[in-house]
Chain A
C-alpha cells in the first residue's frame, strides 16, 4: 500500500518536520521507494524469533543514585538560540 500525499503530511506532522509544499510529490515518491525496499522483509518467516535489540544482549547498567555532575547550566545554555535568567525562551504556549 503506497503512501499518499496526505499520509506524508501526517507523518511530517508527527515528526514536527516542516516540508516544502512544492517538494511533497517528490518526497512521497522517495518514501514509497524506500518503503518498497523495506517491505521485502515481509517475505521472511520470523515466527517464533525473539527480537534482537542489542547485539550483545546487554541490559542497562545501573549506578548508585548519587550526584556526579556539577551544575554547568550557563555553559550549556551558551549554545542555545534564546535564553533568559537561565530559562529557554520559546513562543507563548498558553494564552
Chain B
C-alpha cells in the first residue's frame, strides 16, 4: 500500500479498495518501523491521524468525494498545527504548541487530508542539507551516509522512502526543489503569493513560498490544488484565479519553446549531471519541444544578493523570539537585556545565529544602502533577465543542483561552500517565479534533478511538462533499496 501515489490512493479510496483508516494504519506502522534510520519526522501524530482517517471515511460514506479526502500528508514543521508541537527544527520552539492552524494546514484538512505528523527540517529553514536541525540530521534514503538536501529534508526523505505519498515543504532559496532533486522526487515552488504564508513561521518573507513534494507531477498537481489560493490573512497573497492544475497535465508539448541558459551549464556543474540534463532535453524534443540557448547574465550575482536579503529579513522576523511571549526562555535572567540575549543565544543554533548576525549588520546604520538596497537592485536585474528570456521561450530548463547529494558533514564546517550549491535555485525566489524539479537519472546511485522555470502563475505549464516527461521516462518510479 505504501507504493501507491496520491492519484492511485484517490482511486483506491473512491472505489473502496481500502479505507483511509486502513491506509493510515499501514503508513503509521511503516513510519514506526523505518523512520529511525532516516529521522525524517520530528513528531508523529498517530492518534490524531487515526481520528482524522475515520472522520474522512465517514465523510466519504455520507457521499462526499474529493481526490484528497482520506489521503495522507505530513507537514514541514514550520507550518503551524493547532494543538501539535511546531518546532521549526529549533530548540527555541521545542516546547511550542501552535494555537492555530496555518492556512495550508487548514485547507488540506478541510479537503479531508489525514496529517501523519510533522517533518524534520533545517532550523528555521536555514540550510541546504537538513543538518542544522535541533532534532538531528536527516539521512538520504538513497544512501544513508548522504544528506537529503534541505531545508525541507525530512519532507523529501519521508516521501522518497515511501513512508507516505506526499508532503508539504517551503522554498526560500531552493528548499523544495533541491531536496526533491537529491531524493528522486518531484517538487514545486509556486509563484510568490500563490500559496498562503499565513501560519508558516517566517524566514525571509519576500522569498518564502510553500509547495508540494511528491513522487509524480500528477500528485504535485493534486496537492497544489488543495494548497493554492488567495488568503486575506497573508498580506502578500495574490488574488489570482487558481486553475485546475490536473486538467492540462496531458496537453501536447508540440512547439513548446525551451530555453537553456548557458550560465547553467558552465564551470562548477558535474559533467555527469550535464549529460543527464541533456538527455532529458532530448526526451522533451521527441515530445515536440524546440530548444534554444538563452542567457541569464546576472545569475552569478544571485547568491551574494540572497545572502543579504534573506538574512536581513530573517534578523527582523526572528526578533519575535525573545523569551517573552513564546519559545525558549533562559533560567534566572538578571534583567530584560540578559533575558533577551541568553534566551536567543541558547535557543538558536549556529547557522541561525550567523544569519541573524549578517542580517543585523546589513541593516545597521551606515550599511543599509551598500547592502540591502544594492541587493534589491540586483534582484531587479535578475528579474529583468527572466522577463527578457520569457519573451523568447516558454520555459527555462537546467540542472536543479550542480552536484548530487553530498556526504553528511562534508560541508558543515564551511557555510559558504554549502551556500554555493544553491546557485541554480535561488534566482527563482528572487524573481518570485514558479519552479519545479523532476527526477532525471542517477550519478553514483544518487538522484539527479532537472529544474523547469516558468513565467508567473504558470505552475500548470510546469506540471504539464513534467507529467509528459514522466509518461516516457521511469526515473521517478525508482525506489531506494531497503525502502
Residues of A within 8 A of B (CB): 3, 8, 11-12, 14-20, 27, 30-31, 33-42, 44, 46, 49-56, 58, 60-61, 63, 72, 75-82, 88, 90-93
Contacts and interface: CB of A to CB of B under 8 A. Distances in A.
Nearest to A39: B304
B354 A34 contact: yes
By Cβ-Cβ distance, the 10 closest A-B pairs, closest first, are A55-B432, A18-B345, A51-B376, A18-B341, A46-B377, A81-B329, A52-B380, A16-B340, A15-B360, A49-B377
A16 B416 contact: no
A91 B419 contact: no
Contacts of B325: 77, 79-80, 88
Given A11-B357, A17-B348, A88-B324, A30 B238 contact: no
A37 B236 contact: no
Given A19-B353, A34-B358, A41-B308, A46 B415 contact: no
A75 B99 contact: yes
B342 interface: yes
B208 to A, nearest CB: 12
A11 B335 contact: no
Given A55-B431, A56-B456, A35 B353 contact: no
A91 B99 contact: no
B358 A31 contact: yes
Contacts of B254: none
Nearest to B237: A61
26 contacts: A11-B357, A16-B340, A17-B344, A18-B338, A18-B346, A31-B358, A33-B414, A34-B307, A35-B361, A37-B304, A38-B362, A39-B304, A42-B374, A44-B301, A46-B378, A49-B381, A50-B380, A51-B373, A54-B206, A56-B192, A60-B235, A78-B99, A88-B324, A90-B339, A91-B338, A93-B335
A41 B341 contact: no
Contact of A79 (B99, B346, B357, B379): B99
B256 to A, nearest CB: 24
Contacts of A36: 416
B406 interface: no
Contacts of A53: 206, 376
A70 to B, nearest CB: 12
A50 B358 contact: no
Contact of B341 (A16, A37, A81, A90): A16
B308 A52 contact: no
Contacts of A27: 353-354, 357
B234 to A, nearest CB: 10
Contact of B304 (A16, A40, A81): A40
Of A15, A37, A55, A88, most buried by chain B (CB within 10 Å of CB) is A55
A38 to B, nearest CB: 5
A91 B377 contact: no
Contact of A17 (B206, B339, B357, B433): B357
A38 B373 contact: no
A18 B342 contact: yes
A90 B238 CA distance: 39
Contacts of A90: 324, 333, 336, 339
A52 B207 CA distance: 12
Contacts of A16: 319, 322, 337, 340-341, 344
B326 interface: yes
Interface residues of B, number: 70
B372 to A, nearest CB: 8
Contacts of B252: none
A38 B416 CA distance: 10
Given A14-B360, A54-B206, A81-B329, A37 B303 contact: yes
Nearest to B240: A56
Given A35-B358, A52-B376, A14 B353 contact: no
B390 to A, nearest CB: 14
B475 interface: no
A41 B305 contact: yes
A11 B329 contact: no
A15 B336 contact: no
Given A11-B364, A52-B379, A55-B431, A18 B344 contact: yes
Interface in B350-388: 353-354, 356-358, 360-362, 364, 370-371, 373-381, 383
A58 to B, nearest CB: 6
B236 A82 contact: no
Given A49-B381, A51-B379, A52-B376, A58 B345 contact: no
B380 A56 contact: no
A20 B345 contact: yes
Contacts of A33: 414-416
B354 A30 contact: yes
Given A16-B322, A31-B354, A31-B357, A55 B315 contact: no
Nearest to B93: A79
Nearest to A89: B324
A78 B82 CA distance: 13
Of B235, B303, B304, most buried by chain A (CB within 10 Å of CB) is B304
B295 to A, nearest CB: 16
B97 interface: yes
Contact of B353 (A17, A49, A80): A17
